[in-house]
């Protein structure tokens, strides 16, 4: 059975989440504070983490930051605050998704499944073993790896899915909604701003000079696209 760590200091809510997830087939482990969560992640690594932002002592953001230094485990953040800043910060630190309290356990479970699908090799709608080359980029959808000039570009699963969509459709202009739909089944307007954060992070990982991006172009008032001619400029610095 796969193990999921539920980090939530509200004991009643923690138990509710665990009971529900156990009923749908997970083995659950609870932590009620950040220090314990980090200890569990180190000593008995889970396959998935549900992480509340507001925790006593070391908060959820710090846990996420420290977890991401070593672990590629999928993480869904829970936030009681409706502030967009929190959500964007969580995504920037490498969370895969977030849920605002109060939420339905059924929806949480659906989000977990969606994030899991993204982590599965081969996801992305490409044929098996089909490596796609574009300019000096090479995308392996099976291994879920993006190479630039033969070097791996370190991306999170969401960032990888966005890049896969770009490389599959070079030159196509994607609106923020289009890009949200790439990785989020129930995308709606309110989340559009999160795309800018993902693009910013992809550029940081991918672009030689991320203040002058050569791969991902911003299309004013519309969205983003992959540059149509990557061959001309070479490895401009
Ligand atoms: Ca809390």
Say yes or no: 114 and 172 in one domain.
no
Helix (H) or strand (E) holding 138: strand 137-140
Residue of 144, 111, 106 lying closest to 125 (CA atoms): 144
Indicate if the pLDDT at residue 122 is higher than 50. no
Do residues 99 and 73 lie in contact, with contact meaning Cβ atoms separated by under 8 Å? no
Lowest mean pLDDT among 53-62, 104-113, 228-237: 228-237
**Going edge to edge, which strands form the sheet with 132-134?**
132-134, 137-140, 145-148, 151-153
Higher pLDDT, residue 87 or 14: 14
- Model pTM? 0.59
Q: Write out the residue range of the structural domain in which residue 7 sits.
A: 3-119
pLDDT at 171 (0 to 100) = 79
DSSP symbol at 106: H
Say yes or no: 190 and 231 in one domain.
yes
Report how far ligand 1's centroid is from the alpha carbon of 61 (Å): 12
Report how far ligand 1's centroid is from the alpha carbon of 178 (Å): 33
Report how far ligand 1's centroid is from the alpha carbon of 155 (Å): 29
Query: What is the number of structural domains in the chain?
Result: 2
Report how far ligand 1's centroid is from the alpha carbon of 170 (Å): 43
Query: How large is the average pLDDT for residues 210-219?
Result: 90
Helix (H) or strand (E) holding 237: none
pLDDT in tens, 103-116: 999 999 999 988 88
Is 56 part of any domain? yes
Report how far ligand 1's centroid is from the alpha carbon of 38 (Å): 16
Indicate if the pLDDT at residue 129 is higher than 60. no
Q: Is 233 left (phi over 0), alpha (psi -120 to 50) or beta?
A: alpha
What is the CATH classification number for the domain harbouring 230? 1.10.10.10
Is 124 part of any domain? no
Say yes or no: 199 and 227 in one domain.
yes
d(CA 112, CA 97): 9
CA angle 70, 97, 33 (to 5 degrees): 60
CA angle 198, 204, 207 (to 5 degrees): 115
Say yes or no: 47 and 111 in one domain.
yes
Say yes or no: 79 and 159 in one domain.
no
Torsion of CA 153, 4, 37, 58, to 10 degrees: 70
Is 104 part of any domain? yes
pLDDT at 184 (0 to 100) = 72
Query: How large is the average pLDDT for residues 56-69?
Result: 89
Report how far ligand 1's centroid is from the alpha carbon of 189 (Å): 27
């Amino acid at each position: 059975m796969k193990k999921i760590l539920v980090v939530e200091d509200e004991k009643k809510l923690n138990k509710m989440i665990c009971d529900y997830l156990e009923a749908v087939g997970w083995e659950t482990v609870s932590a009620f504070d950040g220090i314990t969560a980090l200890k569990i992640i180190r000593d008995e690594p889970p396959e998935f983490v549900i992480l509340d932002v507001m925790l006593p002592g070391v908060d959820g953001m710090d846990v996420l930051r420290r977890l991401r230094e070593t672990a590629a485990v999928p993480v869904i953040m829970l936030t009681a605050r409706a502030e967009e800043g929190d959500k964007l910060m969580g995504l920037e630190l490498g969370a895969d998704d977030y849920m605002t309290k109060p939420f339905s356990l059924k929806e949480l479970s659906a989000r977990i499944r969606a994030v899991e699908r993204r982590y599965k090799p081969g996801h992305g709608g490409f044929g098996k073993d089909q490596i796609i080359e574009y300019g000096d980029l090479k995308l392996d959808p099976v291994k879920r790896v993006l190479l630039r000039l033969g070097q791996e570009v370190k991306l999170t699963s969401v960032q990888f899915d966005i890049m896969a969509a770009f490389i599959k459709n070079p030159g196509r202009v994607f609106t923020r909604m289009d890009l949200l739909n790439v990785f989020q089944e129930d995308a709606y307007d309110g989340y559009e701003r999160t795309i800018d954060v993902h693009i910013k992070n992809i550029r940081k990982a991918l672009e030689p000079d991320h203040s002058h991006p050569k791969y991902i172009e911003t299309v004013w008032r519309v969205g983003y696209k992959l540059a149509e001619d990557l061959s001309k400029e070479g490895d401009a610095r």
